[in-house]
């Protein structure tokens, strides 16, 4: 059964068909939400809300890339959650300190040694911290492009921004991330020596 037929059935109110779509896209949706939100529980809540909104908004889907349409709902839900948490910073304090979702990160290379695994784990944490300190609009573009591999055009469709805006946001996000990593002395020495007197 292809995606279009499943979407059509879901639009007619078939929850089972919609749940098949959920199973297809929930990994992608959760990863985007996790990188954008920076916290697993918040990402899970955002994902749940986003799928519920998607089900209720299925009538507004007029064709095109279902993945981009769904990612637009996910990113908008993340924006809403970020704004909500910004108004209530105390709510996310526990999640920030505990970070329980870190154990669920898959190890991509099972052949690496333990010390390399620890170093990668630390690098991932620092990268996530660097992403978290970005503005939300730059964060979304960076995650969609550099983490999830969406093209500029897809990001433009998802965010509803012009292509030039996507390019500039991504450029600024990468520049900030690089500066953050320089401050953490994670970049190779030849890059750091240029700034030193």
Partner 1 sequence: MAKNNDHRNKIAQARQLLSPYLDGEVTAAEQQLVEEALTIDPDLQAELESLQTTVDWLHELPAVVPPRPFTLSEADVQPKRSAGSRSWLVPDWLKLWGTAAAGLLCILAVGGVLLLQQMRGGMLSAPAGDVAMLEEAAETQAIEPEMEKVEEMPAEAEPLPQSSPVTGEGQADEVEEEAEESIAAEADRAEAIEIEPEAAVAETEAEATAETSQSDAEAPLAAEEAAEPAPIEKAAPVPERREAEQPEESLNLAQPAEEIPQADDKAGAPVGGTRPESSPPPPPEIESLAAPPAGEAPRLEDDSATPSIEAEEAVVEESREAAAPPTATATVTATATLSPAPTAASTEAVIPTEVPADTGSTRTSTAFIVFLVAGLVLVGVGAGLWLMWRKQSR
109: left (phi over 0), alpha (psi -120 to 50) or beta: beta
- Positions in 151-190 near partner 1 (CB under 8 A): 152, 167, 170-171, 174-175, 177-178, 181-182, 187-188, 190
Tokens read off for 132: 């978290």
Residue whose entry in the numeric block shows the structure tokens 């500029």: 152
* Cβ-contact 33, 43 below 8 angstroms: yes
Task: Using the rule CB under 8 A, give the single segment among 61-69, 75-83, 111-119, 139-147 that binds partner 1.
Answer: 139-147
- Positions in 73-132 near partner 1 (CB under 8 A): 101, 104-108, 123-124, 127-128
Task: Using the rule CB under 8 A, give the single segment among 34-42, 63-71, 83-91, 110-118 that binds partner 1.
Answer: 34-42
Tokens read off for 17: 């068909």
Task: Using the rule CB under 8 A, give the single segment among 75-83, 88-96, 110-118, 147-155 that binds partner 1.
Answer: 147-155
Minimum distance of partner 1 from residue 150's CB (angstroms): 11
Distance, CA of 46 to CA of 163 (rounded, Å) = 26
Of the candidates 76, 54, 67, the one whose C-alpha atom is nearest the C-alpha of residue 136 is 76
Nearest-Å Rg of the Cα atoms of the chain is 19
Instruction: Pick from 8, 80, 146, 165 the residue near partner 1 by CB under 8 A.
Output: 146
Q: Is 48 in the site for partner 1 (CB under 8 A)?
A: yes
């Amino acid at each position: 059964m292809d995606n279009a037929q499943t979407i059509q059935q879901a639009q007619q109110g078939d929850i089972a068909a919609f749940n098949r779509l959920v199973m297809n896209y929930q990994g992608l949706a959760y990863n985007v939400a996790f990188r954008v939100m920076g916290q697993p529980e918040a990402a899970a809540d955002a994902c749940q809300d986003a799928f519920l909104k998607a089900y209720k908004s299925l009538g507004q889907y007029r064709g095109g890339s279902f993945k981009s349409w769904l990612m637009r709902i996910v990113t908008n839900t993340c924006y809403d959650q970020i704004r909500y948490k910004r108004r209530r910073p105390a709510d996310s304090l526990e999640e920030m300190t505990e970070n329980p979702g870190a154990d669920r990160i898959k190890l991509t290379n099972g052949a690496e040694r333990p010390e390399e695994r620890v170093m990668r784990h630390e690098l991932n944490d620092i990268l996530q911290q660097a992403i978290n300190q970005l503005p939300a609009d730059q964060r979304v573009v960076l995650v969609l492009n550099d983490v999830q591999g969406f093209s500029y055009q897809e990001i433009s469709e998802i965010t509803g921004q012009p292509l030039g805006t996507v390019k500039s946001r991504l450029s600024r996000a990468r520049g900030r991330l690089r500066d953050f990593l320089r401050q953490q002395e994670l970049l190779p020495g030849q890059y750091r020596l240029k700034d030193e007197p």
